[in-house]
Amino acid sequence: MIEKYKHIIWDWNGTILNDVALCVELINQLLEPRGLQSLTIETYRKAFTIPVKNYYANIGFDFEKESFEVVGKHWMDEYERRKFESGLYEGILNTLDSIHANGIGQSILSAYSQHTLDELVEHYNLKKYFTHVIGLDNIYAAGKLHLGKKLMQLLGNGKGETLIIGDTVHDFEVASEIGADCVLICDGHQDKQVLQQCRVPVLNNISEL
């Protein structure tokens, strides 16, 4: 299936970088002092969504009492401090190598901040695989549709020539808007049952790709 595409667009967090456990640990550090219910990885995956502000509201934060910008920055500051603790998903390097060997282009499209995205791609020695590495100019993960449109203009691909691989409904939404096909992987940030509602292939892990 992969071989028919000219270009693969990868999500980063939860697709290439396995940062789910760290994200759950850090959100629980914000929930507990507020008397809110802590999350497990399973309950986190059911609650998580993009825009991230909606996810915070889903798990009990009251933004009439405190600012999302302040809470979100607190979380991101701690994530920044510990960002190198997360590793890559098992099998991702073999997959990137195989796609590269088939002469198919690859890029990253992320709702993560550009600066930190660049840092991590460099840290894991992945830059050689990607034509474009595109993230947001802020830390608040409101969405990446506008970036997806920009990337498709850069690629100049027609319908059916580009595949997005991600782990959230937002990846599917971006794919639908920019005319790309989509495959979702359910060991990232969203629950399998949620992803299956998108009616695209949903894989258990990267090795199934």
**Each residue's pLDDT expressed in tens, for the chain with a length of 209 residues:** 788 899 999 999 999 999 999 999 999 999 999 999 999 999 999 999 988 899 999 999 999 999 999 999 999 899 999 999 999 999 999 999 999 999 999 999 998 888 889 999 999 999 999 999 998 775 444 457 788 888 888 888 777 899 999 999 999 999 999 999 999 999 999 999 999 999 999 999 999 98
Same domain, 92 and 193: yes
SS3 117: helix
Let me know if 152 is exposed, middle or buried by CB neighbors in 10 A (0-12, 13-18, 19+): buried
CA–CA distance, 158 with 104 (Å, rounded to integer): 15
pLDDT digits (tens, 9 = 90+) for 3-23: 889 999 999 999 999 999 999
Same domain, 72 and 140: no
Same domain, 57 and 139: no
pLDDT of residue 54: 92
Which of 52, 85, 118 finishes a domain?
Answer: 85
CA–CA distance, 148 with 110 (Å, rounded to integer): 9
Same domain, 155 and 171: yes
pLDDT of residue 2: 82
What residue spans of the chain are helical by DSSP H? 20-31, 41-47, 52-58, 68-82, 92-101, 114-123, 145-155, 169-178, 192-196
pLDDT digits (tens, 9 = 90+) for 155-168: 887 778 999 999 99
Same domain, 120 and 167: yes
Same domain, 182 and 153: yes
Number of separate domains in the chain: 2
Same domain, 97 and 76: no
pLDDT of residue 157: 75
Query: CA torsion, points 76, 79, 81, 86, in degrees to nearest 10?
Result: -160
Same domain, 112 and 195: yes
Read off φ and ψ for residue 3, nearest 5 degrees: -65, -15
Which of 85, 118, 139 finishes a domain?
Answer: 85
Which of 40, 63, 85 finishes a domain?
Answer: 85
CATH classification at residue 199:
3.40.50.1000
Same domain, 143 and 101: yes
Same domain, 26 and 75: yes
CA–CA distance, 188 with 11 (Å, rounded to integer): 10
Residue 179: CB atoms within 10 A of its CB come to 15
Same domain, 65 and 93: no
First to last CA, the chain: 9
Look up the domain containing 122 and give its range: 2-18+88-208
Same domain, 42 and 103: no
Half-sphere exposure at residue 4, Cβ-oriented, CA atoms within 13 angstroms: 8
